[in-house]
Amino acid sequence: MILTPSMTGIASPDPLQHAFKVKSAPHAGRGGSRPVFLEPQQWQQWWQQPSQASERALYIHIPFCRKRCSFCNFFENGTNPERISRYIKNLTEQLHIAADTPLAQSRGFNTVYVGGGTPTDISSDEVKQLGEAISRFPLVENAEVTLEGRLNGFDDDKWHNATANGFNRFSFGVQSFDTQVRQAAGRFDDKDFLLNRLQQLSQHPSASIVIDLIFGLPGQTLDIWQQDLQAVIDSGVHGVDLYQLIGLSGTRIEHAREKGKILGTALSEFQADSQTRANMYASGAHHFEAQNWQRLSSCHWRRDSRERSIYNSLAKSGIEILPFGAGAGGSIHGHGCMNARDLKKWHQAHDEASSPNERITDDSKANAPVQVPGMLMSPNPSASLDAIFKRGLDSGQLDLNLLQSSMALHLTPLFNAWRANGLAELTQNQLNLTLAGRFWNVNMQTGLFEFLAENPLQPKTSHQQTHSPHAIAS
Ligand SMILES: C[S@@+](CC[C@H](N)C(=O)[O-])C[C@H]1O[C@@H](n2cnc3c(N)ncnc32)[C@H](O)[C@@H]1O
Ligand code: SF4
């Protein structure tokens, strides 16, 4: 049995600060899938087949931003009205075609996420067009429909068109309310503007307003972080995500770090190290829980039940997600798919598919959206097991009854090491992450997948497998 510190963390009097050295990656995952090539006819057939999924989503990607923020590497294309309008035209055409297919019509969609980039940078009329296109899909009653973006440029006109056309959840990147910190990170607005606008939007009778904050930005001292946390409460929003700054390659922050510099503010060169970020996470968790906010995942809290976070929670369960747009990712008939980011090639695929010659030679093209360049993966053989691990560890509670008893027993050494290192508590049927475990949960997920790769569980014959409660707490 191979057990390494990258799986278990290390023993420390302060596991929150020291169980691991640094957050390993934004998300955990494991291999097991390989790229597959799909013939155009097979792609057509896919859209004629009903879905086998019990829950599913649409993901629509809007790959434009007005400015590259210092911490982010999601920037793909600069915002430009003509460029966006061409993109939205092709995108909505494809959504209309897809919505009529047997695959789309075969079952309801629980949630829709329009993400980016900065979807709020599209025009008010385009928000309406997108809302109308989404409404052609069979959404379940009270489905969650999210528009992601930022407050800057999201004027009353866009807001009214969005709420009037089906959007009922808004996820705005705030990052930090502190004017100096946010402007040093490349953001436009000051704290007063953000607070006023969020207070206005949060008055809506039913829409859920949620915001993202990052802890660890240059210039963001512990004091400023406390003020950020208080500003969340003052803003009246219904939910918040607290993300630890990840040093993403290609960002301005990383370039500066490689040269031994910090992109601080005029007032401060401070940049929290991993231990300080751990404390920032803990103060965030205490802050919201002291105000009776409910924790929905390791990094997401809600003020009340209006906020549901359905997309984020289902996406971790490996559900079917039909992806649309350049750079969109999802899963169709169990195959992971990632559309290429290259906008030019994405448009080319549409132009070719809608050229008169193509239409005459192949009428069936209109029965499926265009197959755009990208990657398709074979179904992950352990998708449902991985979903149990990811969802459980991300929520902070892994229900051991969901595992086969042989798997729960196999993982006992790892679970015991996590417990010894202050990352988890074990009961008869449940593994509960401590505050430290929730902070390090992505490392733990990565560690668990590494453990299974190093110590594969030998398959048993079917009569040896049982589902039963497990007496593994020792
Ligand atoms: C894809 S971005 C879209 C947000 C939106 N365009 C905006 O400008 O606010 C989604 C979120 O990812 C988070 N994010 C981006 N870069 C990050 C990083 N390096 N570390 C942690 N979180 C990051 C930010 O909180 C951001 O709001
Ligand atoms: S934070 Fe938003 S606006 Fe800034 S680069 Fe990333 S996606 Fe674009």
pLDDT tens for each residue of 267-289? 888 999 999 999 999 999 999 99
Tell whether ligand 1 has an atom less than 6 A from the beta carbon of residue 116. yes
Provide the 3-class DSSP secondary structure of residue 212: strand
CA dist 316 and 90 (Å) reads: 29
Give the domain ranges of the chain.
5-29+382-460, 35-315
* Ligand 2 cavity residues, CB under 6 Å: 65, 68-69, 72, 74-75, 116-118, 173
| Mean pLDDT in order along the chain per 10 residues (474 residues) | 96 96 73 87 96 96 96 92 97 98 98 97 98 98 98 98 98 98 96 98 98 97 97 98 93 90 85 94 98 97 97 92 98 96 96 68 68 94 92 96 96 98 96 98 95 88 46 39
Closest ligand 2 atom to Cα of 149: 2
Instruction: Give 11 Cα–ligand 1 centroid separation in angstroms.
Output: 32
Ligand nearest to the CA of 120: 1
Asked if 59 and 322 count as a contact pair (C-beta separation under 8 A), the reply is: yes
Q: Is residue 321 within 8 Å of residue 328, measured between CB atoms?
A: no
- From the CA of 150, which ligand is nearest? 1
Closest ligand 2 atom, residue 187 Cα: 4
Candidates 202, 395, 193, 229; CA nearest to 304 is: 202
Give the model confidence (pLDDT) of 318-358 as tens digits: 899 999 999 999 999 999 999 999 999 999 999 988 776 55
Q: Residue 284 Cα, ligand 2 centroid: separation in angstroms?
A: 23
Q: What angle do CA 139, 133, 92 make, to 5 degrees?
A: 140
In this structure, what DSSP letter does residue 344 have? H
Q: What is the pLDDT of residue 346?
A: 97
Q: Give the residue, by CA position, lying nearest to ligand 1 atom 16.
A: 72
- What pLDDT score does 466 carry? 45
- Respond yes or no on whether the N-terminal peptide bond of residue 117 is cis (omega within 30° of 0): yes
- What pLDDT was estimated at residue 24? 64
CATH topology (fold) of 35-315: TIM Barrel (3.20.20)
pLDDT at 263: 85
Closest ligand by atom to 65 CA: 2
pLDDT, residue 469, reads: 39
Instruction: Tell me how far the alpha carbon of residue 71 lies from the centroid of ligand 1, in angstroms.
Output: 8
Distance 186 CA to ligand 2 centre (A): 9
CA of 173 to the centre of ligand 1 (A): 6
Residue in 314, 348, 309 with CA at minimum distance from that of residue 331:
314
| Two tokens, residue 390 | 């990811």
- Distance between Cα 75 and ligand 2 center (Å): 6
Tell me if 248 CB under 6 Å of ligand 1: yes
* Residue nearest atom 21 in ligand 1 by C-alpha distance: 245
Nearest residue (by CA) to ligand 1, atom 11, is: 173
Position in ligand 1 atom list of the atom nearest CA 73: 16
Tokens of 345: 């090639």
Q: Residue 107: its pLDDT value, please?
A: 97
Pick the residue whose CA is nearest to atom 7 on ligand 2: 117
Give the pLDDT of residue 318.
Answer: 85
> First and final CA of the chain: distance in angstroms?
19
CA of 235 to the centre of ligand 2 (A): 21
Residue 423: phi and psi, rounded to 5, are -100, -20
The ligand 2 atom nearest the CA atom of 186: 4
Give the distance (Å) from ligand 2 centre to CA of residue 228: 19
294 Cβ neighbours under 8 A, 6+ residues apart: 301, 302
3-state secondary structure (DSSP) of residue 430? strand
Tell me, in angstroms, the distance from the centre of ligand 1 to residue 160's CA. Answer: 25
- From the CA of 216, the nearest ligand is 1
